[in-house]
């Protein structure tokens, strides 16, 4: 796991954007799973700037929403497809047919989840999953206690997640109680992972994640320790409670 700590939100966002842009430049048919939330906004702004000012092209890029609320229409401003459209897709030259979201209004959600996995496979698999992290350690909407091998599935949101996301709605009662998310297994199959965590309110969970390399479904992001190509980017605020870099037990035993 590569850990990068930048001074502030803008620099952390620029770092994430430059790693993503580098991959797109290397591979114009880049396939990515993309997150929503407050954290990636700066990254999407910087990618937009690179498109407008530096010719970064998304023409061949395929994007998959990491998650979406159950029942949400793609043109609902509270929805995650709308979020990605509004904050990234409409500013760059990505082909609309290459922007995918889980079919959260399907009569048969289970079948729709399998179709989403198949669409990822048909696109050639994920070159990258770009991730945020919830205060309870969720990635996508993989909440604590869910299976480590999961594929795209419908999930119940925890009370903590509902409360954290209420800021995007006019009242907490409007926050959907369920969502469809790519699974931890789907994320782990991506060739590259970037986790971006910024702000003081992520300091505790990042200290828990990076303070030990123990893997537990109680902290879903801890599965990232098993992936061979993960970059964690934080600003100083999110990194402020990390005591020391985690070392695997065998290294500690050997005094490394
Ligand atoms: C939401 C999303 C996640 C996101 C996380 C963090 O629940 N489902 O994909 O990474 O919360 O959001 P934020 O960046 O706003 O803290």
pLDDT at site 199: 98
Q: Does 195 sit in the ligand 1 pocket, CB within 6 Å? A: no
pLDDT at site 152: 97
Q: Which residues of 186-212 are buried (b: 16+ CB within 10 A; e: fewer)?
A: bbbbbebbbbbbbeeebbebbbbbbee
Reply yes or no on whether 23 is catalytic: no
pLDDT at site 247: 57
**Strand 230-235 to strand 192-197: parallel, antiparallel, or no bridges (unpaired)?**
parallel
Q: Is the pTM of this model over 0.75?
A: yes
pLDDT at site 256: 47
pLDDT at site 226: 95
Residues of the chain falling short of pLDDT 50? 255-256
What are the beta bridge partners of residue 63? 32, 99
pLDDT at site 212: 86
Q: Read off the pLDDT of residues 68-119 as tens digits, 9 standing for 90 and up.
A: 999 999 999 999 999 999 999 999 999 999 999 999 999 999 999 999 999 9
Catalytic residue among 51, 100, 138, 153: 138
Tokens matching residue 39: 């954290």
The number of the ligand 1 atom at minimal distance from the alpha carbon of 165 is 7
State in Å: Cα 32 to ligand 1 middle. 17
């Amino acid at each position: 796991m590569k850990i990068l700590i930048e001074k502030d939100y803008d620099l952390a966002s620029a770092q994430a954007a430059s790693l993503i842009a580098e991959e797109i430049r290397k591979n114009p048919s880049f396939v990515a799973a993309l997150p929503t939330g407050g954290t990636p906004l700066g990254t999407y702004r910087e990618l937009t700037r690179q498109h407008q000012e530096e010719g970064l092209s998304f023409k061949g890029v395929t994007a998959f929403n990491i998650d979406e609320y159950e029942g949400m229409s793609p043109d609902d401003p509270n929805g995650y497809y709308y979020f990605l459209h509004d904050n990234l897709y409409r500013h760059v030259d990505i082909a609309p047919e290459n922007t995918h979201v889980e079919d959260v209004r399907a009569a048969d959600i289970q079948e729709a989840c399998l179709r989403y996995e198949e669409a990822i496979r048909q696109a050639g698999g994920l070159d990258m999953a770009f991730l945020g992290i919830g205060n309870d350690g969720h990635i996508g909407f993989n909440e604590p206690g869910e299976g480590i091998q999961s594929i795209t599935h419908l999930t119940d949101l925890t009370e903590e997640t509902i409360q954290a996301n209420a800021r995007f709605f006019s009242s907490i009662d409007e926050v959907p109680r369920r969502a469809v998310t790519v699974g931890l297994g789907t994320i782990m199959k991506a060739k590259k992972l970037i986790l971006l965590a910024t702000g003081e309110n992520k300091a505790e969970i990042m200290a828990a994640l990076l303070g030990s390399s123990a893997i537990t479904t109680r902290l879903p992001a801890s599965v990232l320790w098993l992936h061979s190509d993960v970059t964690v980017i934080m600003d100083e605020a999110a990194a402020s409670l990390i005591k020391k870099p985690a070392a695997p037990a065998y290294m500690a035993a050997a005094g490394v």
